[in-house]
Amino acid sequence: MLDFPLWKRGWFWGLTLALTALALPSIFSLSGARWPAALPDPEVNLGLDLAGGSHILLEADPTEVAVQRLRNMEESVRSTLRRAEPAVSFGDVSTAEGRLSFMVQSVADVDRARSLLEPLLNGEGLVREWNLTVVDETRIVLTPTEAGLEAAVNAAMDSSQDVIDRRINALGTREPTIIRQGENRIVVQVPGLEDPDQVKELVGRTAKLEFKLVNENALQTDLAQGIAEPGQQIFPYAPDSPFFGQNVAVYRLGGIDGGSLIRAQASRNQDNEDVVVIQFDQQGGNRFAKLTSENVGKQFAIVLDGEVISAPVINDRILSGVSEISGSFTPESAQQLAISLQSGALPVDLTVVEERTVGPDLGAESIRLGLLAMLVGSIAVVTLMIASYGRFGVYATIALIFNVLMILGIMALMNTTLTLPGIAGFVLTIGAAVDANVLINERIREERKRGRRVIAAVENGYREASRAIFDANITNFIAGVLLFMFGTGPIRGFAVVLIIGLFTSVFTAVSLTRMWVAGWLRRTRPQDLNI
């Protein structure tokens, strides 16, 4: 058991030194020293509580989801009944009281309309999203179910979380935390970002892009008062538009939205203005080409989050599916809009209900106190180990140092994040590594007291203690995995350090120290042990 061939020693030393080398850039960074630019610099990311940054709590309004579902259902019903062969004639459409109702012109078409609309009533799985009833023989009423609304809110929040994740990652920020909180809230934590307003601007924008035909014959008096004719909507110009303060009337249905976008990129046009170039997919490109071909000479509005950015006249049909959005952009605002559009639109508006900024000074103080706690604890442990076990205590101390460096090296390699609870995980790991060495040394001491020879005592000591160490770490490993699976944010940071530390502490406390002890025994052949 104490036999260590050359390949095994080379493997142990190679692994130890490689992981130790990976830890050096992080140590340089934490100590404020400069790491040579010519060398690779994998570093451990610092969490929000250590690096500082922004914490934002966003909240969605479920009633907005219900309104949006009603609009989508109205458009689906109109499209389905009109495309039927023959088309179903209907009228007197109403969305009052959160229900969609309309009158079918012929009693003979009621059953056919019911059959055509039936596929629209069920969502994914077995959820019944809408109930259909017939009133007064020809009026069809679609009422949203509570289960359907709940499923829609849940889907909207999941989609919003994905969109925010894409937007934050587009900033190049390392290890942001974006998690659901409750039914309609999302927590966004961005470590190290110096401008929290940039986060609010990015995640608070819905980025719902629409191209709507303008009713050029709308009365100016109605526009000024915000009065829309049936089937139309009134949108104001954006604050940075030269027409700010005026309104535009657009047709509510028809047009196209940004759901078909496949690319959005900040650029500059021939007039050296900052613009956002967008490109639609095949289906969206065809619809855009159809819209522009059928309305040459007419005005269409580019609407972003309920505000008109610009309302140009269609001079010629656009068949390439590529267009540009202009509107008094700066390079920064064009870049932010491009990121928002490229990430997709939020399915629901999100409101910032809580904002906290964690200063880097507080994080630096946390690091300083954490490192001080580790240093004081380590000195106390090292002193006790060397005083109690002599040479074996020295081996345990060196293994302890390698253990900490290897944890940092693995975290840098995996690009994981160190949080304040993670420092607690470090301290806990050091304690576990010391426990392992104490178990081994005490077992060796017992074997000597039983009268076994030196070699046999060391062999039995490592063999018997290793079983207890493995069993204890397996239970800790299971606990760490569960924390990582079901925990969030800093809890997961603690779990990561704990899990990595379990592997490194077992490796350093059992394998490395045994290799060193075996080497010393071969060289010196001692007749007794001072342990």
Higher pLDDT, 333 or 403: 403
Higher pLDDT, 430 or 506: 506
Residues in Cβ contact with 54 at an 8 Å cutoff, skipping those fewer than 6 apart: 48, 188, 189, 190, 193, 196, 199, 355, 356, 357, 358
Structure tokens at 51: 């690096």
Q: What mean pLDDT is reported for the chain?
A: 82
| pLDDT-based confidence at residue 222 (cuts at 50, 70, 90) | confident
- Nearest Cα neighbor of 400 from 363, 371, 373, 374 is 374
Q: Are strands 417-418 and 45-46 parallel, antiparallel or unpaired?
A: parallel
Other residues' Cβ atoms within 10 Å of the Cβ of residue 466: 20
Mean pLDDT score, 24-43: 80
Structure tokens at 295: 């309305």
Which of helix, strand or coil describes residue 190?
strand
For tokens 């014959």, the residue is 217
| Positive/negative CA dihedral, 480, 188, 55, 60 | negative
Examine the pLDDT at 402 and tell me if it is beyond 90.
yes
Higher pLDDT, 512 or 419: 512
| pLDDT for res 54 | 80
Contact 417, 50 (CB under 8 A): no
pLDDT in tens, 246-281: 888 888 777 777 777 777 788 887 778 888 888 888
Percent of the chain surpassing pLDDT 90:
12
Percent of the chain surpassing pLDDT 70:
93
Examine the pLDDT at 25 and tell me if it is beyond 60.
yes
pLDDT in tens, 46-96: 777 777 778 888 888 888 888 888 888 888 888 888 888 888 898 888 888
Show the domains of the chain with their CATH numbers.
6-45+359-524 (1.20.1640.10), 62-150 (3.30.70), 207-345 (3.30.1360.200)
| pLDDT for res 385 | 87
3-state helix, strand, coil in the chain (%, to 5): 55, 20, 25
| pLDDT-based confidence at residue 1 (cuts at 50, 70, 90) | low
Determine the Cα–Cα distance for residues 388 and 400; give it in Å rounded to an integer. 16
| pLDDT for res 360 | 62
Determine the Cα–Cα distance for residues 100 and 144; give it in Å rounded to an integer. 9
- Nearest Cα neighbor of 412 from 498, 506, 497, 505 is 497
pTM for the predicted model, two decimal places: 0.58
